Amino acid sequence: MHAQALLAESPVWDAGTGTLWWVDILRGELHQSDPATGGNRSWRAGTALGAVAPRTGGGFVAAAGDGFCVLDPLAGAPLRWLWRETAGADLPAPGWPNGLSVRMNDGKCDPGGRFWAGTMTIDRTPGASHLYRLDPDGTVHVALAGVTLSNGLGWSPDGSTMYYIDTGERTVDAMSFDVDTGEARHRRTLVAVEEGAGNPDGMTVDAEGCLWVVLARGAAVRRYTPEGRLDRVIPLPVHKGTSCAFGGPGLRTLFVTTACVGLSEAELVAEPLAGAILGVDAGVAGLPPHGYDG
């Protein structure tokens, strides 16, 4: 579906409409794609758009620019900021299209209705970024400091374990999670991705509790068991996969977002699907996305 996004990310399945929502981060666009017809609609946010998650009250919560906002494109509602990380954020600075040297990246909601998203700097300064938690009451908390490139998030089917990727560390980490309080503790490395295999980026969790991790520059999606054992490898026809989510009938299609930004002319010719949304028969069902209760 829909080639070519510069940097597609944050796929979210909408069972009510049978469509997939996703963002093109660098263009600041929110897209709605219909796998059955190939149709696509898009809206511009006016700033870099790192991730979205559905709101239980309608529309979306988003990690955008350097903060959190809400938007409802189908209702024609304008973007409304909830919180921004950087003081003086409206001042020009070299970096991303939003004029900042830091921006929000991947994000997702937990089973308790909170929205989690982290940051990255344009030069990927080690330890300079954070993972934040936006509670339903609108308060923002630093969940993790000392992050390099905040990326994929996921929760076990019973909600007792939270999974997190800091691409700079090349690890998939696990934490004990309290759904009632939103506290994540006892962070430990579940998977260390070997050099040369690509960079761990976005991920999702299936109904069996296994993790599907997209390897950017690795041309593959890997499935790991809850114990961290490599279970399956799905090759991709592009090197720059970014994230994934389950959707389609029975949530049995794995939709994989990809990117074409930074590819050479030769690479673009060799990878005509770079920037497209790919669909893979995963052979297993996924979990429906959690919504934001704010």
Active site residues: 201
Q: Structure tokens of 88?
A: 């003086």
How far the first Cα of the chain sits from its last, in Å, is: 31
Instruction: Give CA separation, 157 vs 5, 52, 161, 165, 211, in Å.
Output: 31, 21, 9, 18, 11
Q: Which phi and psi angles does 104 have, rounded to 5°?
A: -70, 150
For 83-134, give the DSSP string: EESSTTTTS--SSSTTS-SEEEEEEEE-TTS-EEEEEEETT--TT-EEEEEE
Q: Are 238 and 258 in contact (CB under 8 A)?
A: yes
Q: Which phi and psi angles does 147 have, rounded to 5°?
A: -90, 150
Instruction: Answer whether the bond into residue 4 is a cis peptide, omega within 30°.
Output: yes
- Strands 211-216, 220-224: pairing is antiparallel
Contacts of 33 (CB under 8 A, 6+ apart): 1, 2, 19, 20, 21, 22, 39, 40, 277
Distance CA 144, CA 169 (A): 14
Q: Structure tokens of 214?
A: 């997209």
Q: Are 160 and 177 in contact (CB under 8 A)?
A: yes
